[in-house]
């Protein structure tokens, strides 16, 4: 019953459920002998369901933990509703819903951005959803905008023509992924006569043929009040808001009608659905794709029942036992054995019968046939023998804890309500689901495996890469000249936009953001504590000054391998014991190396804070780096490298970064197969002993805890950790702007879409121009729908699915970059357009209205960030590591507002250098031919 990664557009959505009360007392319980049900009552408590006369369902839930609200509109229409020849029309319509209305003929992304909304949308199999989260005084404005586009969306030739190109760019971007191509082939074979068997985004052939009348009819049919659910969560009073809803939405008339052919298709599917779930068929031969790529992939799909079927809880527990973490059966059988570098499982339980899929990536040199054999043996064992009590309880705890941890912000709570109402038909569905999870027995799991993991009903696919070693193709350097001249239009006038913007109700008093308590242990470890009793959760963030900047070219990958091996064993626990320690509680702890440090991220229920801290201290002080685990992680790193070099985004970013920073610069270093193979266990031990020190480490904890109890816990866990001498210090040399404009191209065989990076070295976080640079970036490319780049290159010309700019400002200066994805034939025009916009910005600057609008957008959006405790944990950590004031989390909006127009113009003069750009394009060969 989890929301899955098949949500194509917008966020990766994780299902969120109820929170459980917390007494404030810590426990150190081992694996529970029984799993108490997680009640959904408090999650659904306070939810009020109202159905307007026109059929619109309205769900409201007051959550007064932060001065923000989330408004979401969920339409019960997705790719499930599409007929032959219109694959992707739901997704195409989703794009068009941002193009404006008859009353507001402007890009809605610009309106949302002006409100400071964090907004997005997605299309899936059963639903299309639109959501925005804002300060509470913008609630009525969001309601007005969503009601407007429910009735009055502009769907004309101009809008459809430009947005078709954007959608095709998006689809072609997916084509770059071998995993996407394999999944498409497997799903088409598994469900040949069902809409679920086609990609949610549709096919290029169908998208190209859409007519205005066709899309408009689809809109008129499905975007009707009786087919929609409006969800509002957050800091508001229900009765006044319902009054506004009735005034705003109550006047919208029903207009739904049956789409020609839909009933016929649905009747046809019902027979196929029943047959696909119940009746065994002859076991099919594997689908084999032999195409350019980097890694060998396996996917297996089994039919499942719909979301309301009583077997769903047992199926989800079965999935957690098979693929839920390192202790799971398939991870142990495939990854720990060295056969696969990764394995995952995903049940899709939908309005109509769905499917269960298992995906695996082969380790270097391993045969897909062998992986498939071991996989089938593992599934057969699950069918033949009941699962253990330990496995069952761990799976239940993981499912329940993930629901609690996923419910930490109001956006996710609204998503939960909308999903259950649309897909299950009742937002209360979560209550019976969680109660059923707690009651699942070993026999029910075994029976689910027998029923649904039937080899006679499976569809299996192999992706066998034809390109050896994942090596990129040829490269070329361009002359620095562009093929065409381009003159951008005038910058958008915010005053013109303002006339379409609904007013805010009143000024929001965001209140005083609490500041973290900061202290340093005797050994130099810095700690930040911020108590938040709104939710029974813990969010832990940390950083260790042990990043890839210390690698050097000869041992590139050393920092990453060291971080990846921390959880592989300590002096008292092996890798499996460490994994079970956390997974038995549904807690999580991860490490990852970046340029400037190793990031630590952990989360769990409040009672599990001691386990998180003790496990973190154990691996930071006592990691042993077992040789066998090092070899497995090395193989995974080699596969990851192949995948990166086969991805235009990964290869393009590496080439871009290495073009900016000279070979002797720490930021030039990227792993190679040779460097990864040369790293020894002694190298890891040496790096660990040198760089993993308490005086190199900062930890931030946000959540429901008593600081009086946490301090002795920290002292006890970390008190014996010590280091001698001073920590290593690396002097990062400064890098000048490039002397000329430089073009570089990399060819990757088998790709459909190109990715381009444009930029040069930028600024550090403590640079006095940083706040001006943030405002500048917001105007230039901070949002793909509302910025100058987005307005011109994406929205008007339709040349790219996404275009963004950013300043990667860390402890040291990082790149200023613009990134975009284009069709090969559009890359040159998009680059020319971007260069012209940079020149326009440099020569003409920004207007006062743009400047003030960008300030408002940044400061209005900031409270939404602070409404999520996970974000707060990261923000207070980053501020400390970057050497900023403890009060920065509170003062940030004022610092943005304090920037003057003169400072902005100086930042443009200093930081926008159109004549000094590095331009790197990676993708198909025809990109190079047109762009060299």
Integer angstrom CA distances of residue 161 from 173, 211, 343, 490, 799:
19, 9, 40, 22, 11
Q: What's the mean pLDDT when you consider all of the chain?
A: 90
Residue 559's alpha-carbon distances to 552, 631, 722, 734, 762, in angstroms, are 10, 15, 21, 22, 24
Contacts of 200 (CB under 8 A, 6+ apart): 6, 8, 78, 79, 88, 90, 91, 123, 124, 125
Q: Tell me the longest C-alpha to C-alpha distance in the chain.
A: 77
pLDDT of residue 509: 59
Output the pLDDT for position 470. Answer: 44
pLDDT for the residue 38: 55
Q: Are 193 and 272 contacting, i.e. CB atoms less than 8 angstroms apart?
A: yes
CA gap 354, 304 in Å, rounded: 5
CA angle 311, 418, 300 (to 5 degrees): 45
Give pLDDT tens digits for 360-388: 999 999 999 999 999 999 999 999 999 99
Question: What whole-number distance in Å separates Cα of residue 189 and Cα of residue 95?
Answer: 28
* Local confidence band at 18 (pLDDT 50, 70, 90 cut-offs): very low
User: Quick one: tokens of 687?
Assistant: 């790096």
Tokens, residue 358: 């298992």
Model confidence at 507, in pLDDT bands (50, 70, 90)?
low
Provide mean pLDDT across the span 603-614: 96
* Per-residue pLDDT reduced to its tens digit, 30-48: 333 455 555 545 678 899 9
Find, among 406, 388, 732, the residue nearest to 584 by Cα.
Answer: 388
Q: How confident is the model at residue 122 (pLDDT cuts 50, 70, 90)?
A: very high
Encoding tokens for residue 108?
Answer: 């809605």
- Residue 392 phi, psi dihedral angles, 5° rounding: -60, -45
Within 10 angstroms of residue 844's Cβ, the number of other Cβ atoms is 11
Predicted pLDDT of residue 263: 39
Q: State how far the Cα of 421 lies from the Cα of 228, in Å rounded to an integer.
A: 10
Q: Residue 512, SS3? A: coil
Extract the tokens encoding 156. Answer: 């004309």
509 Cβ partners below 8 Å, 6+ apart?
67
Q: What does the pLDDT read at residue 84?
A: 86
Asked if pLDDT for residue 727 goes beyond 90, the answer is: yes
**Lowest-pLDDT choice from 261-265, 720-724, 745-749:** 261-265
Tens of pLDDT, residue by residue over 764-786, are 999 999 999 999 999 999 988 89
Strand partners, 119: 132
Angle at 825 between CA 492 and CA 816, to 5 degrees: 50
Backbone angles phi, psi at 166, to 5 degrees: -65, -45
CA dist 879 and 516 (Å) reads 11
* DSSP per position, 581-597: HHHTTT-EEEEEE-SS-
Reading the block at residue 332, the tokens are: 């142990």
Cβ within 8 Å of residue 297, ≥6 positions away: 178, 179, 182, 359, 360, 361, 362, 368, 461, 462, 463
Residue 284 confidence (pLDDT): 87
Two tokens, residue 166: 């954007």
Per-residue pLDDT of 579-594, as tens digits, reads 999 999 999 999 999 9
**pLDDT at residue 264, rounded to an integer:** 34
Using alpha carbons, list the distances in angstroms from residue 876 to 513, 514, 528, 869, 890.
12, 11, 8, 11, 10
Give me the percent of the chain exceeding a pLDDT of 90.
84
H-only helix segments in 759-826: 770-780, 788-789
CA distances from 601 to 114, 403, 592, 813 (A): 32, 18, 9, 24
CA distances from 330 to 1, 400, 826 (A): 20, 21, 43
Report residue 24's pLDDT band, with 50, 70 and 90 as the boundaries.
very low
Split at pLDDT 50, 70, 90, the class of 487 is: low
What's the pLDDT at 182? 97
d(CA 833, CA 790): 11
Q: How far is CA 338 from CA 332, 346, 361, 436, 565, in A?
A: 9, 22, 11, 36, 15
Tell me how many degrees the CA angle 854-858-861 measures, rounded to the nearest 5.
135
Q: Tell me how far apart the alpha carbons of residues 178 and 297 are, in angstroms, rounded to a whole number.
A: 8
* 526-531 β-sheet, strand order: 517-520, 526-531, 697-703, 537-544, 598-605, 588-593
Chain position carrying tokens 């959904």? 40
Dihedrals phi, psi of 240, to nearest 5 degrees: -60, -35
pLDDT at residue 22 tops 70? no
Could you tell me if 392 and 321 are in contact, meaning their C-beta atoms sit under 8 angstroms apart? yes
- Give the strand pairing for 526-531 and 697-703: parallel
Element (H, E) at 836: helix 827-844
With residue 746 as reference, give the H or E element that holds it.
strand 742-747
pTM over 0.85: yes
Q: Is pLDDT at 323 greater than 70 in this prediction?
A: yes
Extract the tokens encoding 529: 């504590």
DSSP H stretches of helix in 474-589: 494-498, 558-564, 575-583
Burial of 892 (0-12, 13-18, 19+ CB in 10 A): buried
Residue of 757, 769, 780, 776 whose CA lies nearest to 813? 769
Question: Helix or strand or coil: residue 202?
Answer: coil
Question: Residues with Cβ < 8 Å from 257, sequence gap 6 or more?
Answer: 220, 221
User: Can you read off the two tokens belonging to residue 846?
Assistant: 């920004």
pLDDT tens digits, residue range 415-427?
A: 999 999 999 999 9
Q: What is the three-class DSSP state of 569? A: strand
CA distances from 534 to 466, 586, 701, 710 (A): 53, 20, 15, 18
pLDDT at 16: 26
CA–CA dist 45, 295 (Å, integer): 48
Q: How many CB atoms lie within 10 A of CB 594?
A: 15
Residue 35's pLDDT is 52
Q: Quote the CA–CA distance of 303 and 452 in Å, as a whole number.
A: 7
Give the integer Cα–Cα distance in Å for 712 and 710.
Answer: 6
Please say whether the dihedral angle defined by the alpha carbons of residues 782, 864, 68 and 601, taken in this order, is positive or negative: positive
Nearest to 90 by CA among 196, 225, 226: 196
A 10 A CB-CB count for 518 gives 15
* Residue-level pLDDT at 31: 34
Model confidence band, residue 504 (pLDDT cutoffs 50, 70, 90): confident
Which of the residue ranges 324-338, 369-383, 406-420, 500-514 would you say has the lowest mean pLDDT?
A: 500-514
- Quick check: 75 and 227 in contact, CB under 8 A? yes
CA distance 120 to 788: 19
Mean pLDDT check: name the lowest of 274-283, 441-450, 557-566.
274-283
Helix axes of 609-622 and 575-583: crossing angle, nearest 10 degrees: 160
Strands of the sheet containing 287-291, edge to edge, are 287-291, 459-465, 297-303, 355-362, 340-348
Question: Kind of pairing, strands 459-465 and 287-291?
Answer: parallel
The per-residue pLDDT for range 658-715, each reduced to its tens digit, is 999 999 999 999 999 999 999 999 999 999 999 999 999 999 999 999 999 999 999 9
CB neighbours of residue 458 within 10 Å: 22
End-to-end CA distance of the chain: 50
Q: Identify which of 506, 535, 319 has the alpha carbon closest to the alpha carbon of residue 412.
A: 535
The DSSP line for 854-888 is: HHHHHHHHHHHHHTSHHHHHHHHHHHHHTT--TTH
- Provide mean pLDDT across the span 266-285: 51
Q: Tell me the C-alpha distance between 111 and 786, whole Å.
A: 8
pLDDT band at 494 (very low <50, low <70, confident <90, very high): confident
Q: What are phi and psi of 38, to 5 degrees?
A: -85, 120
Q: State how beta strands 57-62 and 48-51 pair.
A: antiparallel
Residue 398's pLDDT band (boundaries 50, 70, 90)? very high
């Amino acid at each position: 019953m989890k929301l899955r990664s098949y949500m194509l557009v917008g966020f990766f959505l994780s299902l969120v459920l109820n929170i459980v009360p917390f007494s404030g007392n810590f426990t150190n319980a081992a694996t529970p002998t029984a799993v108490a049900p997680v009640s959904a009552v408090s999650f659904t408590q306070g939810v009020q369901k109202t159905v307007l006369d026109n059929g619109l369902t309205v769900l409201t839930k007051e959550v007064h933990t932060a001065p923000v609200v989330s408004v979401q509109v969920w339409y019960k229409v997705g790719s499930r509703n599409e007929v032959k020849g219109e694959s992707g029309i739901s997704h195409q319509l989703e794009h068009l819903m941002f193009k404006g209305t008859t009353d507001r003929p402007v890009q809605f992304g610009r309106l949302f951005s002006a409100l400071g909304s964090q907004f997005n949308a997605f299309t899936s199999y059963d639903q299309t959803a639109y959501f925005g989260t804002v300060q509470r005084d913008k609630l009525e404005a969001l309601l007005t905008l969503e009601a407007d586009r429910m009735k009055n969306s502009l769907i004309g030739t101009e809008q459809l023509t430009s947005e078709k190109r954007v959608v095709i760019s998006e689809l072609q971007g997916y084509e770059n992924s071998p995993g996407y191509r394999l999944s498409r082939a497997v799903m088409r074979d598994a469900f040949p006569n069902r809409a679920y068997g086609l990609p949610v985004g549709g096919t290029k052939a169908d998208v190209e043929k859409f007519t205005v009348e066709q899309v408009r009819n689809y809109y008129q049919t499905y975007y009707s009040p009786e087919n929609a659910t409006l969800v509002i969560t957050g800091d508001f009073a229900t009765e006044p808001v319902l009054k506004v809803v009735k005034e705003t939405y109550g006047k919208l008339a029903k207009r739904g009608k049956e789409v020609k052919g839909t009933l016929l298709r649905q009747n046809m599917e019902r027979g196929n659905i029943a047959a696909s779930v119940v009746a065994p068929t002859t076991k099919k031969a594997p689908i084999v794709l032999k195409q350019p790529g980097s890694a060998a992939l396996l996917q297996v799909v089994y039919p499942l029942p719909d979301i309301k079927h009583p077997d769903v809880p047992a199926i989800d527990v079965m999935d957690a036992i098979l693929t839920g973490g390192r202790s799971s059966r398939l991870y142990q059988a495939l990854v720990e054995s060295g056969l696969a570098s990764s394995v995952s499982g995903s049940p899709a339980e939908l309005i109509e019968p769905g499917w269960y899929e298992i995906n695996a990536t082969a380790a270097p040199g391993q045969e897909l046939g062998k992986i498939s054999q071991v996989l089938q043996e593992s599934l057969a064992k699950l069918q033949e023998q009941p699962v253990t009590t330990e496995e069952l309880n761990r799976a239940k705890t993981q499912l329940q804890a993930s629901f609690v941890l996923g419910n930490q912000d109001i956006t996710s709570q609204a998503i939960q309500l909308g999903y259950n109402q649309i897909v299950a038909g009742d937002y209360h569905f979560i209550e019976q689901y969680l109660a059923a999870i707690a009651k699942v027995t070993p026999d029910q799991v075994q029976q689910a495996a027998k029923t649904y993991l039937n080899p006679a009903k499976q569809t299996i696919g192999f992706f066998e890469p034809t390109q050896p070693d994942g090596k990129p193709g040829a490269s070329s350097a361009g002359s620095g000249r562009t093929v065409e001249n381009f003159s951008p239009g005038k910058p958008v006038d915010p005053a013109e936009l303002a006339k379409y913007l609904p007013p805010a109700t009143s000024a929001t008093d965001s209140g005083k953001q609490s500041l973290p308590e900061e202290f340093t242990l005797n050994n130099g470890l810095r700690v930040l504590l911020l108590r938040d009793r709104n939710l029974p959760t813990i969010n832990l963030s940390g950083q260790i000054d042990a990043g890839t900047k210390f690698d050097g070219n000869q041992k590139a990958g050393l920092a990453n391998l060291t971080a990846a091996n921390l959880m592989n064993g300590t002096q008292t626990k092996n890798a499996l014991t460490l994994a079970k320690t956390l997974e038995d509680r549904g807690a999580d702890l991860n490490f990852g190396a970046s340029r400037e440090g190793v990031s630590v991220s952990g989360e769990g229920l409040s009672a599990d804070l001691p386990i998180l801290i003790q496990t973190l201290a154990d691996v930071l002080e006592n990691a042993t780096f077992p040789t066998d685990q090092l070899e497995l992680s090395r193989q995974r790193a080699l596969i990851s490298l192949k995948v990166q070099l086969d991805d235009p985004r990964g290869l393009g970013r590496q080439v871009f970064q290495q073009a900016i920073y000279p070979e002797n610069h720490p930021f030039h270093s990227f792993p190679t197969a040779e460097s990864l193979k040369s790293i020894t266990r002694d190298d890891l031990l040496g790096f660990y002993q040198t760089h993993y020190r308490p005086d190199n480490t900062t930890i931030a904890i946000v959540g429901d805890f008593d600081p009086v109890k946490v301090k002795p816990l920290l002292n006890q866990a970390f008190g014996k950790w010590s280091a001698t001498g001073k920590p290593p210090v690396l002097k990062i040399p400064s890098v000048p702007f490039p002397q000329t404009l430089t073009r570089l191209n990399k060819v990757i065989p088998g790709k459909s879409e190109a990715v381009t990076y444009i930029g040069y070295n930028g600024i550090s976080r403590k640079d006095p121009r940083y706040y001006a640079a943030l405002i500048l970036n917001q105007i230039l490319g901070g949002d793909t729908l509302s910025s100058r780049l987005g307005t011109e290159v994406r929205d008007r010309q339709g040349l790219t699915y996404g275009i963004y700019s950013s300043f990667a400002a860390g402890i040291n200066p990082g790149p200023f970059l613009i990134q975009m994805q284009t069709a090969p034939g559009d890359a040159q025009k998009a680059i020319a357009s971007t260069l012209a916009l940079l020149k326009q910005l440099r020569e003409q600057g920004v207007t006062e209205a743009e400047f003030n609008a960008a300030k408002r957008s940044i400061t209005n959006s900031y409270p939404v960030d602070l409404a999520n405790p996970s974000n707060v944990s990261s923000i207070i950590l980053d501020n400390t590591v970057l050497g900023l004031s403890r009060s920065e989390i509170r003062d940030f909006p004022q610092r943005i507002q304090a920037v003057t127009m003169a400072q902005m113009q100086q930042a443009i003069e200093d930081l926008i250098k159109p004549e000094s750009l590095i331009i790197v394009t990676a993708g198909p060969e025809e990109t190079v031919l047109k762009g060299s």
